[in-house]
């Protein structure tokens, strides 16, 4: 599912809301999550999961084409840990 499909689904389930308002709400949620992660804060959505950032230290990598050693700089990467309810729904055998 892409963001436009998410907006359309929410708008269809809530006919009293305009699609442009739903789009603003979805964008605001994503912007707040992004801003919190940029500030190294953890974002927890109960039942769904938690977003955080992890540090990847600098390392020496290899160019797959030439085999030459390449220095890879330190970086911060987003990390998602699914919540208990999400894991249970994904693994539901019923």
Measure the CA–CA gap between 27 and 35, rounded to whole angstroms.
Answer: 12
pLDDT digits (tens, 9 = 90+) for 12-37: 999 999 999 999 999 999 999 999 99
pLDDT over threshold 80, residue 2: yes
pLDDT recorded at residue 33: 97
Cα–Cα nearest to 7, from 28, 29, 22, 27? 22
Q: What is the pTM of this model?
A: 0.79
Half-sphere exposure at residue 92, Cβ-oriented, CA atoms within 13 angstroms: 7
pLDDT over threshold 80, residue 93: no
């Amino acid at each position: 599912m892409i963001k436009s499909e998410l907006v359309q689904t929410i708008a269809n389930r809530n006919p009293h809301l305009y699609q442009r308002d739903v789009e603003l709400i979805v964008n605001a949620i994503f912007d707040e999550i992004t801003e919190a992660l940029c500030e190294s804060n953890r974002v927890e959505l109960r039942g769904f999961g938690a977003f955080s950032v992890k540090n990847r230290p600098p390392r020496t990598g290899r160019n797959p084409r030439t085999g030459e050693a390449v220095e890879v700089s330190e970086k911060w990467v987003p990390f998602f840990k699914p919540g208990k309810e999400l894991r249970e729904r994904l693994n539901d055998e019923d």
